[in-house]
Amino acid sequence: MFSINETHRFFAPQLDVPLRLLLGPGPSNAHPRVLQAIAMPQIGHLDPAFIQVMNDIQEMLRYAWQTDNPFTLPVSGTGSAAMEAAIANLVEPGDVVLIGVIGYFGERLVEMASRYGADVRRMDKPWGEVFTLDEISAGVETHRPTLLGLVHAETSTGALQPMDGVGDLCRAHDCLLLIDTVTSLGTTPIFLDEWGVDAAYSCSQKGLSCPPGASPFTLGERALAKLHGRRTKVANWYLDMSILSQYWDGKTRSYHHTAPINSMYAVREGLRLVVEEGLAERWARHQANAQRLWDGLTELDLACHVNDPAHRIPALTTVRVPAGIDARDTAVRLLNDYNIEIAGGFGPLAGKVWRIGLMGHNSRPENVTLLLAALKEILGR
> Residue 183, interface with ligand PLP (CB under 6 A)?
yes
Q: Where are the beta strands (DSSP E) in the chain?
A: 21-22, 71-76, 96-101, 119-124, 147-151, 153-154, 159-160, 176-180, 199-201, 214-219, 316-320, 340-341, 343-344, 353-357
Q: Which is nearer to ligand PLP, 27 or 196 (CB)?
A: 27
> Residue 185, interface with ligand PLP (CB under 6 A)?
no
Q: Using alpha carbons only, give the angle 236, 208, 334 rounded to the nearest 5 degrees.
A: 105
Q: Which is nearer to ligand PLP, 83 or 163 (CB)?
A: 83
> Residue 294, interface with ligand PLP (CB under 6 A)?
no
In the complex, least distance from residue 338 CB atom to ligand PLP, rounded to whole angstroms: 23
Q: Per-residue string for binding with ligand PLP, 27-66, x by CB under 6 A?
A: ----------------------------------------
Q: Which is nearer to ligand PLP, 202 or 289 (CB)?
A: 202
> Residue 84, interface with ligand PLP (CB under 6 A)?
no
Q: Which is nearer to ligand PLP, 182 or 227 (CB)?
A: 182
Stretch that binds ligand PLP, among 73-81, 282-290, 322-330, 355-363 (CB under 6 A): 73-81
Q: Per-residue string for binding with ligand PLP, 127-166, x by CB under 6 A?
A: ------------------------x---x-----------
Q: Is 241 helix (H, G, I), strand (E, B) or coil?
A: helix
CA–CA separation, 80 and 111 (whole Å) = 12
In the complex, least distance from residue 202 CB atom to ligand PLP, rounded to whole angstroms: 8
> Residue 314, interface with ligand PLP (CB under 6 A)?
no
In DSSP notation, 49-73 reads HHHHHHHHHHHHHHHHHT---SEEE
Stretch that binds ligand PLP, among 15-23, 74-82, 220-228, 272-280 (CB under 6 A): 74-82
Q: Which is nearer to ligand PLP, 187 or 374 (CB)?
A: 187
Q: Which is nearer to ligand PLP, 80 or 114 (CB)?
A: 80
CA–CA separation, 207 and 189 (whole Å) = 12
Q: Which is nearer to ligand PLP, 313 or 372 (CB)?
A: 313
Among 203, 241, 264, 297, indicate the residue that binds ligand PLP (CB under 6 A). 203
> Residue 179, interface with ligand PLP (CB under 6 A)?
no
> Residue 182, interface with ligand PLP (CB under 6 A)?
yes
In the complex, least distance from residue 211 CB atom to ligand PLP, rounded to whole angstroms: 11
What phi and psi, each to the nearest 5 degrees, are found at residue 236? -120, 110
Contact between 102 and 157 (Cβ < 8 Å)? yes
In the complex, least distance from residue 32 CB atom to ligand PLP, rounded to whole angstroms: 22
CA–CA separation, 246 and 71 (whole Å) = 11
> Residue 266, interface with ligand PLP (CB under 6 A)?
no
> Residue 78, interface with ligand PLP (CB under 6 A)?
yes
Contact between 187 and 207 (Cβ < 8 Å)? yes
List alpha helices for 207-358, DSSP H. 221-228, 241-248, 261-277, 279-299, 327-338
Cα Rg of the chain, angstroms: 21
CA–CA separation, 327 and 321 (whole Å) = 6
> Residue 105, interface with ligand PLP (CB under 6 A)?
yes
Q: Is 376 helix (H, G, I), strand (E, B) or coil?
A: helix
Q: Is 149 helix (H, G, I), strand (E, B) or coil?
A: strand
Among 180, 198, 269, 341, indicate the residue that binds ligand PLP (CB under 6 A). 180
Other C-beta atoms closer than 10 Å to the C-beta of 24 total 24
CA–CA separation, 347 and 378 (whole Å) = 25
CA–CA separation, 38 and 232 (whole Å) = 38
In single-letter form, the type of residue at position 222 comes to R
In the complex, least distance from residue 25 CB atom to ligand PLP, rounded to whole angstroms: 6
Residues that bind ligand PLP (CB under 6 A): 25-26, 78-80, 83, 105, 151, 155, 180, 182-183, 203, 212
